[in-house]
Amino acid sequence: MRISTFLLLPLAALLSGCASQRQATAAADSGNSAHQTALAALESQRFVINIDEVYTRKGKRLDTHQSYVSMQGSQLEVSFAPDFFSPRTSQQMDQLRTSDEQGRLEKIGTKRNGDIQFRIHGRWGWQQRRRSCLVTLFHDSDRAFLEFRSERDVAEGTAKGTVRPLDR
């Protein structure tokens, strides 16, 4: 009886290890699938990045669910939640949501850790000045880090969000 207990204990541990490895592999496959879908959407320039975290220049984190960056071909749209801005006149309200019909996306490359970087070029803001947004798609994820830059290539703010393909 004692001998069978000593034999069954390692066998049970081995089998439970195999089951947890199968679960980890399944989770990695689903993450990889989401990453491939997000990458394909970025490369085809038919995507929306739903922003859920915004960081100010001073590093303060703000949660949001109304902000996004969208691109469909050369049609670019950038929208931020109204609560990020102080009250303003109606002439300046276009800072909240703006679009550019001549936006373009370029793939910069892949970092050592596997993150893939893109740069969106366009004109947005109430003065429609040239700006860019560095998009870093995290390795094996559909999450992205965005860094908004001015026409003088000065960082204006950062955000994190989820990349989703646009429906056709």
Which pLDDT tens digit goes with each residue over 98-143? 788 888 999 999 999 999 999 999 887 656 778 899 999 999 999 9
Distance (Å, whole) CA 147 – CA 69: 12
Residue 94, pLDDT > 50, answer no
Which residues, 6+ apart, have CB-to-CB distance to 41 below 8 Å? 47, 163, 164, 165, 166
pLDDT at 16: 56
Three-class secondary structure of residue 95 per DSSP: helix
- DSSP structure string for 126-150: TTTEEEEEEEEEPTTSSEEEEEEE-
Q: Are 21 and 34 in contact (CB under 8 A)?
A: no
State what percent of residues in the chain have pLDDT above 70. 70
pLDDT at 2: 57
- Residue boundaries of the structural domains of the chain: 33-165
CB atoms within 10 A of CB 50: 16
Report the range of poorest mean pLDDT among 40-44, 68-72, 90-94: 90-94
List phi, psi (to 5°) of 77.
-135, 130
**Topology classification of domain 33-165:** Lipocalin (2.40.128)
Classify the phi-psi angles of 3: left when phi > 0, otherwise alpha if psi is within -120 to 50, otherwise beta: alpha
* Average pLDDT estimate for 152-168: 86
